[in-house]
Amino acid sequence: MTERQRISSGSPYEPLIGFSRAVRVGDTVYVSGTVAWGDDGKLVGPGDVYAQAKQAIRNVEAALMKAGASLGDVVRTRIYVTDISRLDEAARAHGEAFGEIRPASTMVEVSALAEPEMLVEIEAIAVV
């Protein structure tokens, strides 16, 4: 069996729900849906899709780094937004981070995220 490395972000949801921020198995890292929690434990950018997407990507990057990967290793992203009419804001943040990497990606609208202030959630898969 391939060794499994679990990466925690310290989110209170992890033990409650039973998930890890990221899991590395072999050369693949799976990053769970990630929102815009700042280092202070508060949501970054209330009402601002772009700011939340930027912070979510920073949080994805931090999880990847703990697993020995980087944004450059990302092959797949999924972006969940609560208002698809604001997709340009999330797309701009994604493009700034992944414009040269160009992973396979999907953006979809969802009715809500875990908390009403959350506007964007991003997940990623990387191969190192």
What is the set of domains in the chain, with CATH numbers?
4-127 (3.30.1330.40)
The model's confidence at residue 2, banded by pLDDT at 50, 70 and 90, is: confident
Quickly count: other Cβ atoms within 10 Å of residue 84's Cβ.
Answer: 11
DSSP bridge partners of 15? none
What is the per-residue pLDDT across 52-100, written as a single tens digit (0 to 9) for each? 999 999 999 999 999 999 999 999 999 999 999 999 999 999 999 999 9
pLDDT of residue 60: 98
pLDDT at residue 10 greater than cutoff 90 = no
The model's confidence at residue 124, banded by pLDDT at 50, 70 and 90, is: very high
pLDDT at residue 11 greater than cutoff 90 = no
Distances from the Cα of 72 to the Cαs of 13, 38, 103, 128, in angstroms?
Answer: 28, 22, 9, 9
pLDDT of residue 85: 98
Give dist(CA 55, CA 38) in Å, integer. Answer: 7
Q: What is the pTM of this model?
A: 0.96
Give dist(CA 6, CA 123) in Å, integer. Answer: 15
Quickly count: other Cβ atoms within 10 Å of residue 34's Cβ.
Answer: 24
In the chain, % of residues over pLDDT 90: 94
Structure tokens at 19: 């998930």
Give dist(CA 108, CA 117) in Å, integer. Answer: 18
